[in-house]
Amino acid sequence: MYMKYLKSVFKQDNMITGYLYFYVHFITEIVCFFYLSRELGTTSLYVWLIPLLYDALAFVPQSLIGAISDKYPKINIGLVGVFLLILAIVFKILSVNLFIPLIILCLGNGCLHIEGATTTLTSSKGKLSHSAIFVGGGSFGVITGRIMAKSSLNISVLIPLILTMIPFILLASTYKNRNYYNSICKEFDYQNKHINSKVIVWLMLFVVIIRGYIGYGIPTSWNKTTYQAVLLYSFMGIGKCLGGILSDAFGIRKVAMLSTIVAIPFLIFGDNYMTISLIGVMFFSMTMAITLAMLVSVLKRTPGLAFGITTIGLFLGTLPIFFYKVINNNINIILIVISSLLCSYIMMKVIDKEGG
């Protein structure tokens, strides 16, 4: 019976947009993290500042980019992003001031994220799998970009790689909801109707912030080799994809609560055990698509803005890490347990019971 449900998920209409933007997101993160890794390898003076600026400039403006995309849906923001990424690499090759290409790179990243989010959301008929698969591609791109940066490849190799995204973006745009202004994301309807919509938005932002913080606090002392890093990011990506796929098959409420609670013991006891930790990371990553679906349920006419709110939350969640990180493992474990239980409780309250 369960296999029948899962097969039906993969046969959803327009699922191809998720696969197309999985690739686009994958390549986008390869480009960005190849660039960042190379920059950090040659500019020790900015080893702390560059990642902070990248997170701020790539994540925070996505709400504004998303709002622009919502207002002018006929503009393909993804193609703008492709142009910006190429421009950033060209400026880097020409040795333009460090921060100019970095800013352009971040804005290109934001444009591609927003186009991927709006395309997968508006073509999914209220399902989570499309956007979850799109989001999952980023984790695989991050680790691939970091590994490529360690090679002898010239940074100019990124330009033809960026250009490969264009046919994927154009093909995906043909599946975008043609009745954009009339329906947009009306089929996203997972919110508890008894809770004020604004309260739900703030609660989901809070959950994303907490999850962003926990993500950087997960104890993984076993992660010492490139092979282990590849596994870590792969399980993150798999978890993000599964969050949407399983929610469509078995219900968003069940997956939101169970994935959060089940992840706890694997996270706190997996510090020195890779297999246990990877299972925890996978479960932990599942709620990414769910928080987005909840925001879109409230902000149906502005899916770009909804996605931008999640990226602001991720930035706010990771911001403390740049200034302070909990060293005491016992305190860290307590924070993970309390935060996870709180997030699970919030999810239980804000998701409509009919959501599974």
CATH code where residue 44 lies:
1.20.1250.20
Residue type, 183: S
C-alpha–C-alpha distance, residues 168 and 161, integer Å:
12
Residue ranges making up the domain that contains 64: 2-355
pLDDT at res. 156? 93
Write down the number of H helices and E strands in the chain: 16, 0
pTM given for the model: 0.90
Which segments of the chain have a pLDDT < 50? 2, 5, 181-182
State the DSSP code for 155: G
pLDDT of residue 10: 52
Handedness of CA 319, 137, 146, 274 (dihedral sign): positive
CA 250 to chain centre: 22
Report in angstroms the alpha-carbon separations of 197 from 26, 79, 202, 296, 323: 33, 33, 9, 11, 33
Question: What residue has token string 């959501």?
Answer: 355
* pLDDT for 221: 83
d(CA 84, CA 77) in angstroms, rounded, equals: 11
> How far is the C-alpha of 208 from the C-alpha of 287, rounded, in Å?
9
pLDDT in tens, 126-171: 899 999 999 999 999 999 999 999 998 999 999 999 999 999 999 9
- Give the C-alpha separation, 252 to 248, whole Å: 7
pLDDT value of residue 29: 97
> What total number of domains does the chain contain?
1
DSSP per residue, 245-294? HHHHHH-HHHHHHHHHHHHHHHHHH-TT-HHHHHHHHHHHTTHHHHHHHH
The single residue listed with the structure tokens 């290409």 is 101
Instruction: Tell me if 42 sits within 8 A of 149, measured CB to CB.
Output: no
